[in-house]
Amino acid sequence: MGAAFFPILFFTAVWAGVGVALPIMTPKGPNQALIRCILMITAATCWLFWLCCYMAQMNPLIGPKLNQHTIYMIGKEWGSKIKD
């Protein structure tokens, strides 16, 4: 299983919208630059966190731990011949 194109494109567009469109729409005021900076940093870090979580699912480091009895039962149900 590999990374799908649509989710990466969709979430990149969503966070790009937060990081580009929302700072443009901030109201005028003494804290406008701070609000813009917060929105851009939030968008970048949320997108990076999402991307790391999404990519970590492509090749997990830890698989399921099954005991020997469970493996024999699965083999029996699926019709596999497991040698002792």
- Predicted confidence at residue 84, as pLDDT, reads 61
User: What is the pTM assigned to this prediction?
Assistant: 0.67
Q: How confident is the model at residue 32 (pLDDT cuts 50, 70, 90)?
A: very high
**What are the angstrom distances between the C-alpha of 46 and each of 27, 30, 36, 52, 55?**
23, 26, 15, 10, 14
Is the distance from CB of 22 to CB of 39 less than 8 angstroms? yes
Q: Look at 5-9, 32-36, 46-50, 63-67 and tell me which has the smallest mean pLDDT.
A: 63-67
- Residue 22 pLDDT > 90: yes
pLDDT at 19: 94
